[in-house]
Structures are given as C-alpha cells and as structure tokens.
Amino acid sequence: MKIVYHENSKVFHLWNECISYVMMVLKNGQLGHLYYGKRIHDRENLSDLLELAARPMSSCSFPEDKIFSLEHIKQELPGFGTGDYRSPAVEICQQNGSRISDFQYQSHRIDGGKPELAGLPATYVENQQEASTLVINLQDSVTGIRAELFYTIFAEGGILAKSICYHNEGLQTVQLERAMSLCLDLPDCDYEWVQLSGAWSRERHVRTRKLTMGIQSIGSLRGHSSHQHNPFVVLKRPCATEQQGEAIGVSFIYSGNFLMQAEVDAHDNTRVLVGIHPDAFSWRLEAGESFQTPEAVMVYTDQGLNHMSQTFHRLYQKRLARGKWRDQARPILINNWEATYFDFTEDKLIQIARKAKECGVELFVLDDGWFGARSSDHAGLGDWVANSDRLPQGIAGIAQRVEDLGMKFGLWFEPEMVNEDSDLYRMHPDWILSAPERVKSHGRYQYVLDFSRKEVVDVIYEMMAKILSEAKVSYIKWDMNRSITECFSFGLPPERQGEVYHRYILGVYDLYERLTREFPEILFESCASGGGRFDPGMLYYAPQGWTSDDTDAAERMKIQYGTSMCYPVSSMGSHVSMIPNHQVNRQTPLHTRANVAYFGTFGYELDLNRLTEEEIQEVKQQIVFMKEYRTLLQFGTFYRLKSPFEGNEMAWMVVSQDKRTAVVGWYRIMNVVNGCFTRLRLQGLEADLCYRNSQSGSLCYGDELMNLGLSTTDATAGEVAAGGESCTDYESRIYLLEAQFEFSHF
C-alpha cells in the first residue's frame, strides 16, 4: 500500500497489491483522472495517460488551444458551466445567481490510517498500517470555497473510499445545490450495470442491463434508502461471471436520499456519480461553515463477482460494523409479531417464550404493541411507556420473567414515528414533518417525527434510555415503517428547507450513536418495514438488519442472494415463520424454511406451541445445528453458486478460514419428474483435502468437488415411487463437508 506524488509531472498514484488509482493536476489547475483498475507499475511520467484531441464543436479552456476541453477530459471534481456538459459532481449557487465554479489544486497531504467523518457513518481502521489517506485541497478563487477531497486506500483488497468536505472560506453565504461523494470517469462503456432493486417484500432483486449512450441511474427521494433501490451498483464486463472477470462495485454509506448514476457520452466515456440526491437538496453554507459528504466505497476485482462481494463482506463486517456484536455469533431468537400481532397478554407472551426456551431459543423479542394506547396501528406511536394493562410490571417486569426462564429479552421500537392519537402528538403537533396549509399524508396511520430538530431527538432519546436503563433489555429491533412526505420543518427558516432530508438522517444517526454508546451490550437490529433501509449507513450502528418483511423461503432465496452482492451473511436477519406464509400464503416445508434462514442471523417468527410434536423435534434439531455452525455460517467465506434468478435451482455455500469445513445450501423451487442427474460445482475448498459428505457419508477430495461437482441427484432423476424417497416442491438440502485427511503426494 503506497501513495506517491510525482512533483514534476504532478501525478498522484495510490496503489496496493490489487489496484492502482492515478490522477494528476491538469494545466488549468483542476484535478484530472487517469486510471483506476488492476495494479500497474509506478513511473514518473504516468501523466502521458492523459488523452487529448481536438474535437469539433468543443468549448476550450485556453485561447488558441483547441485541444484542452473539459468536455472530453476525465475529472475528479467536475463542475458546472465551463465546457463540460456532462452531469457535474458539485454545483454551488452564489449570491449573484452564478453556478460556475473552478476548483484548482492548492495543496495535499498523506496521512497514515483513516479519519473519521463527524456525525456520519464510515469505514474505519484500528491501526494506521491498515490504510493510508490522501487529502487534496482544491479551491475556487471567486467564492473562496475549499474542497477537501479524501481518498483512502486499504492495505488489503481492491478497496478505495472517497468523500469530500466543503469549507466556506469566503465572505459570502452560498447554497450548495449538488455535492456528490464520488465521481469516476472511465474510458469506455463496455460494462453491464447491475443493481439491487424491487419493492416491499421483494427487495434487492438482481437486475442487469447494458450501459448505453445517455444516463441510467437508481436513487431514492423517499427520505430513506428505500425498498425500491439499494445504494449499491456494479459495473461489470459482459464476460464477467461469479468466478472470473472484471467488476467495479460501488457502495454508498448513507441511509437517506441518494443518486447513483452512469452517464455515457458520445465518445463512449462513462461517468459514474454517487452521492446525496440533488433533487430537494440545498445546503446553506455560511462563511466559516463546512459540509461533509457521506462516504462512497469502490471495490475493483478481476476475479469475478464472488470475489468482489467477499471483499465488501470482510470490509463491512470488520471495518464498518462496530461494537461488542461485530465479531460475535448472533443469538437465536423468537419474535412474537407473526404469532400474536397486537393480540397478546404478558402471560401469553411468557407461554410462547417458555416453549421457545424448551426448544433451545436464546432470545425472546417483544414486537409492536407494548406501549401507550397501542392496540392497533392507529394509536400509541411516540408514547414509549409500557401499557400497564398488558404489562402490569412494565418492561422491567416482563424482561425479568423472560430472564428467569434462562433467556435474554429484546424489544421493538419505532422511534422516528408518531400517531395523531398519542400524547406526544397532542403536546407537540408541530413536531412532525408537514407543510403549512397542506394535507398531511399518512402511512400506516403514522407520521414522521422531525428528526432534523435536536429537541425532538432529545425527547425520544430520554424515553428510550429510561426504559433501557431500568429493564434487562439485550436486543433492540429499530423499525421505520413509512417514507417521508411533505418534507418541511417548522424548526428551520425558509432558506434552509432544502436541508431537512439530510438533517433528518443526521438526527437518526445521532440517536443511534447516543444509544449504542450508552448501552454497548445491546444488540441493535435495524428495520424499515423489513428492507426499506438495509444500507451500509445502518450497518455502522446496527450490525444486522431485518432483510425483508417477506419470510417466505422461496422469496427469501432471491432477497438474500441479491443482498449478498454487497452485504455479509452476519448482517441479514432471517427467520423461520408459520405456514401458510403471511406474505404470499405459500406453504413450504419446515426444513426448507430453516435451510434458507441458516444463511443469516437465524430465528423464529411464530408460536412454537402451535406446532406438532414431530415439528418441535425438527425445530430442536435445527437449533442444535445452528448453534454448532453459526460462527461458520455468519463469518465464513460466502460463495454464490447458482442464481435463483436464472433457473429452478439455487445454491450457495460458506467455507471456514482454514478451508476444513463447508456448509452448502441447495434449493429446488419446483419438483421435476424423470429429471437429469445433477451435480453442483463448489468453490473455495482445498484441492488436496478429502471431505466427508454428511448427507451421503461419501469421501471426496476438494478438487473433485470443485471441478466435477457435488452430486445433488435425488429420486426425481427417474420415477418417484410411492413410499419411496420424499421429493416435493420447495425442496432443499444442507450438505456439511468436513475435512478428514489430506492427499499425500508421493
């Protein structure tokens, strides 16, 4: 890992064993981009990578110079209105109405390690040897605005993190109208754009399309990262697969409105922009004030999508997630929501918890309905005081009863929301986001509290902290069940209304930061109607998220497969639920529901008292298996083997660090008859180790399992005889492979 600056050629080169990132100070003082990709040798005159040519109808920067045109130069911080007609990374409205900027090089420094971003989630290091950071200062001489560009290269993996801080060192107030975190100009457009998109209960499906001339983008204007689009994209070469080929993954560590955009110009150059969505954003920057953009992370690989994902997994698992639970296997939990909804008493909850304890469950989670006048979704949000009719001894009382059973206790909150039918709303009706003289849109009969106001966040913090201080709470499920509408704050003046969306997210981060610091033993799980805010910003505060409200095993195959493109298995909340499934009314076998949920944090979302004795015995076996292998499942190296978006079968696997143990999940959606013999090529094993297959008892070397494959043939390869091997729709199997001995070379 190294960062060098060649004084004579004014070239910056950042590199490690995997990647190089090269840029230079251009003749106009701006910062130009030269190369990003597989590591190349350093040399003094890398500036010759800059390609210039006279092109017709171009606007040029210098008199008598028909070559130097910003329209065709790859740049690090492209502005607006000086010859570059592509989308800019920064746009500043000055008091005279001009939006022209010209950020020129002033200075730079190279620091060991990585700085924190005040008030924002970001990747981090634990010692200075893990990363180096280049900080480049550019300044616009007319406004006095200084742009401080941060480039962090990590010692291991093809990882580069970028962000920008704008400092108003001038005399006038300006409006920052666009402040993207990342601009990456690429020299061609021979890429496929991969995004994770969907909707509630079908989040993060993998969508792929070819880049073409023009703009294609994903984003959110909902006030949160959204079920519709995840703040993550991949640009991959058309020939790239899971196992080979070039790909660039880009992830945005932010939980609010965002934009990720690829623009292909008339000469097949591609500009990638990532940052806060510029629509509905305007930040008033007074003299002496600063604005920090969120962090964007890029990962380059030439070894396929699995390798890219594994790089993100390691980084986000160990250097984004924080705290006690970052490295710990997660407790097996049971959540009462789908078992009871709002219809419960304390004794009924204890009855569910007692049966769960008998089965080996470690954590009981009380979901919605425990507070205020909450007997439906029409009332109670905002009144974070236990309902004494349902919980006579409050949260402390039921928590102690659960603890006395030998289990831990968890609790659901939705701290960002309020119902009109609540004491909090009656006291402070102006504390919601709503526009004067406009209709207030509700979602689930609730409204969004104005977390851009510190006094609102303070009150919610005090209510939550009181409960957590008085009761034995080991886990918090933090929910958020609607998008923002009528985004107006009664706490800000007219000229600052464009700041509300971002200030709201900063308020959410502030509340998370205060609670996680004061209660470091608590495991936090983020949730937003399931997967509506499953993003890296949340992972910084809560090491796991509720992946989707859809708990159906067949649907979860797609959701968790897509999620794994960026996020580690340890971050995915995944439960076994009742059938018929409450989202799709589908019936899937109990073993398949568990076989999908194993590849996540694992738990149950049902009343175990309603299962048959045979099913209870199966649940007990599931829990024994998960307890033995959860560290491997949640923290091992994860491989996608077969995509549920491409056929009737899906498969994935995890491998231990020493490659001596692997767990393979194999799934078939619809049953077949007189089918083919089938094999599944595995990944990540040690070629010379001989593995025992728990399903068949057979012994196979790693090279056989990876090159010939693991046999998945069953009774469907022929005629399924009555009374023979059971084969059904939504079939699945778990293969446990454990090394027995190593091949001896003679």
For 218-230, how does the pLDDT look when each residue is reduced to its tens digit (9 = 90+)? 999 999 999 999 9
3-class DSSP assignment, residue 56:
coil
Largest CA distance in the chain: 88
Q: What distance in Å separates the CA atoms of residue 504 and residue 496, rounded to the nearest whole number?
A: 13
pLDDT reported for residue 80:
87
Burial of 92 per CB tally in 10 Å (0-12, 13-18, 19+):
buried
Half-sphere exposure of 30 (CA within 13 A, CB side): 21
Q: Does domain 649-742 have CATH number 2.60.40.1180?
A: yes
Backbone angles phi, psi at 273, to 5 degrees: -120, 135
Q: What distance in Å separates the CA atoms of residue 619 and residue 597, rounded to the nearest whole number?
A: 12
Q: What distance in Å separates the CA atoms of residue 21 and residue 37, rounded to the nearest whole number?
A: 7
- Determine the Cα angle at 53 with ends 50 and 55, to 5°: 140
Interval 568-583: pLDDT, tens: 999 999 999 999 999 9
- Using CA atoms, how far residue 257 sits from 272, 441, 478, 501, in Å, is 17, 19, 19, 7
Work out the average pLDDT over 533-560.
98
Half-sphere exposure of 106 (CA within 13 A, CB side): 14
pLDDT band at 741 (very low <50, low <70, confident <90, very high): confident
Burial of 197 per CB tally in 10 Å (0-12, 13-18, 19+):
middle
Q: What distance in Å separates the CA atoms of residue 534 and residue 99, rounded to the nearest whole number?
A: 35
Q: Is the pTM of this model over 0.85?
A: yes
Q: Where are the domains of the chain?
A: 2-41+61-319, 324-635, 649-742
In the predicted structure, residue 744 carries a pLDDT above the cut 80: no
Q: What distance in Å separates the CA atoms of residue 6 and residue 60, rounded to the nearest whole number?
A: 27
**Run of H or E including 110:** strand 103-112
Whose tokens are 């070039």? That residue is 246
pLDDT reported for residue 746:
45
Q: Fold for domain 324-635? A: TIM Barrel (3.20.20)
pLDDT band at 236 (very low <50, low <70, confident <90, very high): very high
Interval 156-169: pLDDT, tens: 999 999 999 999 99
Whose tokens are 């806060």? That residue is 276
Checking phi first, is residue 331 left (phi over 0); if not, alpha (psi -120 to 50) or beta?
beta
Of the candidates 486, 429, 35, 600, the one whose C-alpha atom is nearest the C-alpha of residue 221 is 486
3-state SS, one letter per residue, for 116-181: CCCCCCCCCCCCHHHEEEEEEEEEECCCCEEEEEEEEEECCCCEEEEEEEEEECCCCCEEEEEEEE
Interval 470-518: pLDDT, tens: 999 999 999 999 999 999 999 999 999 999 999 999 999 999 999 999 9
pLDDT reported for residue 60:
87
Catalytic residues, which ones? 479, 549
pLDDT band at 723 (very low <50, low <70, confident <90, very high): low
Work out the average pLDDT over 364-389.
97
pLDDT reported for residue 206:
98
Cis peptide before 231 (omega within 30 of 0): no
Half-sphere exposure of 243 (CA within 13 A, CB side): 8
Q: Does domain 2-41+61-319 have CATH number 3.40.50.720?
A: no
3-class DSSP assignment, residue 523:
strand
Of the candidates 600, 597, 534, 541, the one whose C-alpha atom is nearest the C-alpha of residue 570 is 600
pLDDT reported for residue 455:
98
Q: What distance in Å separates the CA atoms of residue 208 and residue 197, rounded to the nearest whole number?
A: 10
Return the number of other C-beta atoms located less than 10 Å from residue 59's C-beta: 12
Q: Hey, which residues does 298 pair with through a beta bridge?
A: 160, 250
CB 468 within 8 A of CB 460: no
Of the candidates 399, 394, 412, the one whose C-alpha atom is nearest the C-alpha of residue 336 is 412
In the predicted structure, residue 745 carries a pLDDT above the cut 60: no
Q: Please tell me what DSSP assigns to residue 396.
A: H
**Can you read off the two tokens belonging to residue 387?**
């309902």
Backbone angles phi, psi at 378, to 5 degrees: -90, -15
pLDDT band at 469 (very low <50, low <70, confident <90, very high): very high
**Can you read off the two tokens belonging to residue 8?**
């004579």
